[in-house]
């Protein structure tokens, strides 16, 4: 499903380019769950962004199915994010002016795969049914993250990317949200790549890789 | 995808109705003021065109008498016989209506707007008592004079068209005022000077006389409309900038979930197009209301200042609707280009946090300083080395834009100075926070600066004008009573009876004729101390009145002096075969045409057919003389007017003339007040993250609300102080440059500190009212809202 081969990425710094990823390789099969751990600044979020086509690598290849994300145009990467990938951010990134129901269905609608039944199931599975008419600002952090998870899964993506999905939540809420996310991802058959610095969360995944100073340790 | 994207974008406005209202209202107001002014201009121009069609002005070459007199019909016949395709026109006024007599058989433009398409009608027109064509208003005013009255909406306002023979009879004239020439003249005809040496040829012009004369007035109105539009655009620019900034997180999310960037930018452009069309429609409708309300006063102004007749009712013109929508769309495009460009260039993973939207505007400090200094210098150079209307307006524009650019820098310097004196932690925070808010409020404050400066400038001009005009009336209306005789016999009787009773009888007698190629009135004044004691010369030769009353010189008004480019000593034709040197120039405010004053005996010799029927009476016993006129001579009350009544009437006309300017002033200031309100309200939403820490550290919400109020009022006051010198500079350019080019007179500039204080009071009041709502909202913000700032990003 996902193959990352020799990926490198640098960012400009005051004293020249600062390498963040120095040749990362990893693979993820369909339906598999993988935790990517590492200290702050180890490059794990950058790798996730590159995988989701939010940024482009300086070197190496990222293949999702048969598509090389790095060689896609901006339009092509947008299509990939719309149709193939579901991204869950630490900061939720909901659309504040749309209600919960519209937020959940949004990406599926963009991808032309909106299924009201699927939206209802996801809302129910994540305990969001009573909140469908509410707006994001009226929800707690945990509820907002559940909406973000539902949105990412509503379009039935082949790959789910989660960037510290429980980083903004308290421990109990984090447990609940993670459990719901894993259940739904497994049910959908998607692959899940989750970035986290928490060993406890990582242990819930089938596999884990540790990133250190831009390389897989 | 397009539908979903648009839905998401539009949902922002649904959730932020105040912002949507700001945008639509700002754009609608800007469009309204602009299109209102354009509607007035269009209506006036349509009236001029109708006048041109009626009178043949400008369209055809003309033959006129070199000394401005009438052209005998024999001369016309002789010209026709020698091959000149000329057609006579007789013009004059009757009961306030312009009578135009044309010869339908020879006139190159036929009867202008009057359509005679059958022989029978031409027969009626020419035969019997004839017909007069005009708008209902003109026909009512002229009354039943014999000829059949036919309503025709295409004839110019307050004008009637008729056959030349009817006009001759109605006006009691023999000769023609001018001869219109057909564009296709036969070859080989003799020179004009051979047949009629006293006549001269006036070539066809691009536009009508009245249109050229009033261009300056319309340019004035357009400039005002544009200023209002610019002030409105400040609101739109602010609203769009803020809306886009607030939607940064949404843009990031939309892109993250697969919306291509170019589609997103395209959708935003479509969204703005829709909003601008909606606002444009509302604006054009509002503009129609404004134009309809102001048009009667504009018509009065044009009539008073230029003698141009403009219809007092507004027609709906499709071009005007389209132009209004167009300007709304263009204005939105201008105000949103930067915001759209920012979105297009924004990296997908750029911070979604609305970065102190306003702080971005702080960038390019040196660019602003350079721009402001450059524009003010340009204005100074234009004023110093150029003349005329267009460079004067360019100078005004450069000065205003330069000052607006400089405003945030000046305010920031003032605040930095104040911050140095801060002793308490709260004061330090207040000044620092105010400086931080400045970029966000600067657009609204610039709008306030422009509106205030325009108010100070225009009110100084109008008040200076009023003061000069009042002084001018005191000079000119020196006689205590004015009496009008019904006929010559009554005039003689009045003179006879009053001679032993009053100090002086001053006849008011004049003829209309061209002087130095311009329309003018020639007055025959009686030698009397009244003129020497009251009239003030702008320029004169030694013993000017003595020279005039000796029949050896003429006094002219400032308009004629400037427009004809005359100097003292230049000779002008004051009658058939008589030329006199100009010995003095007097101010003559509110009069559209030139004026020449010669001695009464000379006037009577030149124009024996004119007898005075109106007199000014110098007396110390006005009431007794009034009684005598009424009781012994049987004059009705309406024929006797005292000095104060005429002055009151003249001032009333003056005030009406400037109603339009006053109304536009008030509207512009209202728009600026609205800009401040909307800036404060929209910024209030972004303020919570800045205020929450201060609240958490111990300041009450009420106190925070109070400080927000003080901040707004203080900034408005500082802006008002900055607007004062700017407004005075504006007034100087208006008085010393624009007025001279537009009206032909230069006015002295007076200062009106009390008026400025009242204006400043209004500005502060507007700012207080504008700040009240956001401050009150802040003071009542639930603690939970403030706490949210600490709990997560949004």
pLDDT per residue as tens digits for the range B197-220: 878 776 664 444 455 445 656 666
Q: How far is CA B656 from CA B191, B594, B734, in A?
A: 49, 22, 19
- Residue in A78, A95, A137 nearest the CB of B260: A78
Which pLDDT score, from 0 to 100, does residue B682 have?
A: 63
**A120 touching B, CB under 8 A?**
no
pLDDT (tens digit, 9 = 90+) per residue, B330-367? 888 887 887 788 788 877 776 544 444 444 554 567 78
Interface test with A, best of B20, B256, B271, B685 (most A CBs within 10 A): B256
- CA B545 to CA B552: how far, in whole Å? 10
- Provide, as residue numbers in chain B, all residues whose Cβ is less than 8 Å from the Cβ of A87: 256-257
Strand partners, B482: B616, B641
- Give which of B623, B527, B29, B590 is closest to B300, Cα–Cα: B590
Q: Write b or e for each residue in B150-168: b if 16 or more Cβ atoms lie within 10 A of its Cβ, otherwise e.
A: bebeebbbbbbbbbbebbb
pLDDT band of B613, cuts 50, 70, 90: confident
CB pairs under 8 A between A and B: 80
Interface of A with B in 15-74 (CB under 8 A): 49, 52, 54-55, 74
Q: Domain residues of chain A, as ranges?
A: 32-56+71-211
Task: Give the mean pLDDT of chain B.
Answer: 79
- Residues of B contacting chain A (CB within 8 angstroms): 1, 4-5, 7-8, 11-12, 14-16, 249-250, 252-262, 348-349, 352, 791-794
Q: Which helix or strand (DSSP H or E) is residue A6 part of?
A: strand A2-13
Interface test with A, best of B13, B257, B353, B794 (most A CBs within 10 A): B257
Which pLDDT score, from 0 to 100, does residue B118 have?
A: 44
- CA B136 to CA B149: how far, in whole Å? 9
Closest-CA distance of chain B to residue A114, Å: 11
pLDDT (tens digit, 9 = 90+) per residue, B694-719? 776 677 788 888 888 898 889 888 99
**A12 touching B, CB under 8 A?**
no
- CA B454 to CA B473: how far, in whole Å? 28
- CA B395 to CA B734: how far, in whole Å? 10
Q: Domain residues of chain B, as ranges?
A: 1-52+211-355, 59-204, 368-464+655-794, 475-654
pLDDT (tens digit, 9 = 90+) per residue, B151-190? 877 777 677 888 888 888 888 888 888 888 887 778 778 8
Complex confidence, ipTM: 0.70
Q: Taking the model in full, what pTM does it have?
A: 0.61
- CA B556 to CA B522: how far, in whole Å? 9
Q: Write b or e for each residue in B492-505: b if 16 or more Cβ atoms lie within 10 A of its Cβ, otherwise e.
A: ebbeeebeeebebb
pLDDT band of B50, cuts 50, 70, 90: low
- Provide, as residue numbers in chain B, all residues whose Cβ is less than 8 Å from the Cβ of A119: none
Residue B20, number of CB atoms within 10 A of its CB: 17
Q: Which of A61-70, B107-116, B249-258 tops mean pLDDT?
A: A61-70
Lowest mean pLDDT among A40-44, B269-273, B723-727: A40-44
pLDDT (tens digit, 9 = 90+) per residue, B737-777? 877 777 677 778 889 898 889 888 888 887 888 788 888 88
Tell whether domain A32-56+71-211 is in CATH 3.40.50.300: yes
Closest-CA distance of chain B to residue A107, Å: 6
**Token pair of B646, please?**
């005429």
Q: Which helix or strand (DSSP H or E) is residue B454 part of?
A: helix B425-476
Q: Which helix or strand (DSSP H or E) is residue A209 part of?
A: strand A207-212
- Provide, as residue numbers in chain B, all residues whose Cβ is less than 8 Å from the Cβ of A98: 8, 11
**Token pair of B317, please?**
């013109």
Which pLDDT score, from 0 to 100, does residue A32 have?
A: 93
- CA B297 to CA B660: how far, in whole Å? 6
């Amino acid at each position: 499903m996902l193959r990352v081969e020799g990926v490198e990425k640098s960012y400009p710094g005051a004293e020249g380019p600062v390498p963040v990823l120095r040749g990362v390789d990893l693979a993820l099969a369909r339906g598999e769950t993988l935790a990517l751990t590492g200290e702050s600044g180890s490059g794990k979020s950058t790798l996730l962004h590159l995988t989701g086509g939010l940024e482009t690598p300086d070197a190496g290849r990222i293949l999702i199915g048969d598509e090389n994300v790095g060689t896609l145009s901006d339009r092509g990467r947008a299509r990939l994010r719309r149709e193939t990938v579901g991204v869950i951010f630490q900061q939720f990134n909901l659309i504040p002016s749309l209600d919960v129901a519209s937020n959940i269905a949004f990406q599926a609608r963009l991808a032309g795969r909106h299924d009201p039944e699927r939206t209802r199931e996801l809302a129910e599975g994540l305990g969001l049914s009573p909140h469908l008419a509410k707006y994001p600002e009226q929800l707690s952090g945990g509820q907002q993250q559940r909406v973000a998870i539902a949105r990412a899964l509503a379009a039935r993506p082949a790959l789910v990317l989660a960037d510290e999905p429980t980083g903004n939540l308290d421990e109990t809420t984090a447990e609940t949200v993670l459990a719901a996310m894993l259940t739904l991802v497994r049910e959908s058959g998607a692959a899940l790549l989750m970035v986290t610095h928490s060993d406890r969360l990582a242990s819930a995944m089938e596999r884990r890789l540790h990133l250190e100073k831009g390389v897989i340790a | 995808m397009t539908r979903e994207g648009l839905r998401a974008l539009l949902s922002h406005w649904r959730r932020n109705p105040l912002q949507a209202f700001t945008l639509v209202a700002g754009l609608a107001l800007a469009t309204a003021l602009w299109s209102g002014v354009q509607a007035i201009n269009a209506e006036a121009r349509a009236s001029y065109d109708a006048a041109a069609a009626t009178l043949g002005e400008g369209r055809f070459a003309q033959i006129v008498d070199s000394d401005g007199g009438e052209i005998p019909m024999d001369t016309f016949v002789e010209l026709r016989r020698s091959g000149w395709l000329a057609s006579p026109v007789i013009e004059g006024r009757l009961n306030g209506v312009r009578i135009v007599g044309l010869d339908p058989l020879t006139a190159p433009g036929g009867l202008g707007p009057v359509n005679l398409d059958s022989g029978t009608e031409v027969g009626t027109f020419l035969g019997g008592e004839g017909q007069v064509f005009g708008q209902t208003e003109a026909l009512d005013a002229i009354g039943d004079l014999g000829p059949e009255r036919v309503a025709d909406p295409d004839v110019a306002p307050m004008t009637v068209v008729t056959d030349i023979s009817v006009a001759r009879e109605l006006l009691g004239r023999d000769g023609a005022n001018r001869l219109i020439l057909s564009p296709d003249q036969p070859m080989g005809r003799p020179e004009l000077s051979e047949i009629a040496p006293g006549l001269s040829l006036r070539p066809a012009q691009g536009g009508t006389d009245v249109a050229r004369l009033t261009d300056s007035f319309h340019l004035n109105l357009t400039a005002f409309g544009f200023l209002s539009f610019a002030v409105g655009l400040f609101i739109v620019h602010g609203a769009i900038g803020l809306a886009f900034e607030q939607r940064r997180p949404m843009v990031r999310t939309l892109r993250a979930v697969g919306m291509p960037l170019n589609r997103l930018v395209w959708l935003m452009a479509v969204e703005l197009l829709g909003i601008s069309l909606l606002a444009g429609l509302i604006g054009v409708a509002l503009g129609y209301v404004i134009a309809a309300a102001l048009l009667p006063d504009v018509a009065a102004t044009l009539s008073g200042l230029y003698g141009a007749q403009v219809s007092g009712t507004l027609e709906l013109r499709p071009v005007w609707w389209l132009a209004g929508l167009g300007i709304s769309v263009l204005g939105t495009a201008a105000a949103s280009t930067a915001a759209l460009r920012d979105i297009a260039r924004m990296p997908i993973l750029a911070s979604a946090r609305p970065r102190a939207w306003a702080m971005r505007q702080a960038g390019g400090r040196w660019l602003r300083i350079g721009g402001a200094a450059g524009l003010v210098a340009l204005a100074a150079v234009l004023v110093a080395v150029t003349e005329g209307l267009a460079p004067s307006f360019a100078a005004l524009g450069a000065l205003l834009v330069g000052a607006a650019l400089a405003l945030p820098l000046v305010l920031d310097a003032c605040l930095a100075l104040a911050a140095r004196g801060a002793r308490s932690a709260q004061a330090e925070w207040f000044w620092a926070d105010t400086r931080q808010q400045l970029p966000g409020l600067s657009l609204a404050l610039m709008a306030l600066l422009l509106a205030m400066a325009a108010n100070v400038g225009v009110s100084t001009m109008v008040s200076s004008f009023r003061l000069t005009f009042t002084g001018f009336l005191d000079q000119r209306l020196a006689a205590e009573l004015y009496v009008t005789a019904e006929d010559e016999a009554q005039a003689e009787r009045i003179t006879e009876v009053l001679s032993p009773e009053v100090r002086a009888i001053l006849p008011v007698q004049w003829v209309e004729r061209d002087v130095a190629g311009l329309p003018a009135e020639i007055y025959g004044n009686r030698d009397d101390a009244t003129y020497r004691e009251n009239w003030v010369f702008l320029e004169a030769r030694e013993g000017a009145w003595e020279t005039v009353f000796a029949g050896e010189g003429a006094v002219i008004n400032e308009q004629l002096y400037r427009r004809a480019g005359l100097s003292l000593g230049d000779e002008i034709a004051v009658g058939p075969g008589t030329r006199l040197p100009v010995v003095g120039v007097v101010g003559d405010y509110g009069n559209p045409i030139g004026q020449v004053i010669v001695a009464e005996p000379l006037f009577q010799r030149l124009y024996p057919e004119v007898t005075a029927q109106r007199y000014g009476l110098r007396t110390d016993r006005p009431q007794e003389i009034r009684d005598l006129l009424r009781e012994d001579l049987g004059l009705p009350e309406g024929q006797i007017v005292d000095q104060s009544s005429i002055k009151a009437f003249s001032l009333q006309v003056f005030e009406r003339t400037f109603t339009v300017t006053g109304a536009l002033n008030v509207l512009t200031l209202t728009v600026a007040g609205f800009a401040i309100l909307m800036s404060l309200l929209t910024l209030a939403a972004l303020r919570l993250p800045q205020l929450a820490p201060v609240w958490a550290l111990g300041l009450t919400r009420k106190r925070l609300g109070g400080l927000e109020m003080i901040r707004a009022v203080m900034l408005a006051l500082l802006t008002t102080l900055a607007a004062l010198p700017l407004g005075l500079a504006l007034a100087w350019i208006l008085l010393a440059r624009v007025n001279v080019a537009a009206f032909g007179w230069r006015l002295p500039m007076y200062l009106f500190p009390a008026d400025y204080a009242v204006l400043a009071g209004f500005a502060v009041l507007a700012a207080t009212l504008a700040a009240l709502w956001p401050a009150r909202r802040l003071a009542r913000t639930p603690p939970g809202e403030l706490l949210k700032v600490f709990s997560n990003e949004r």
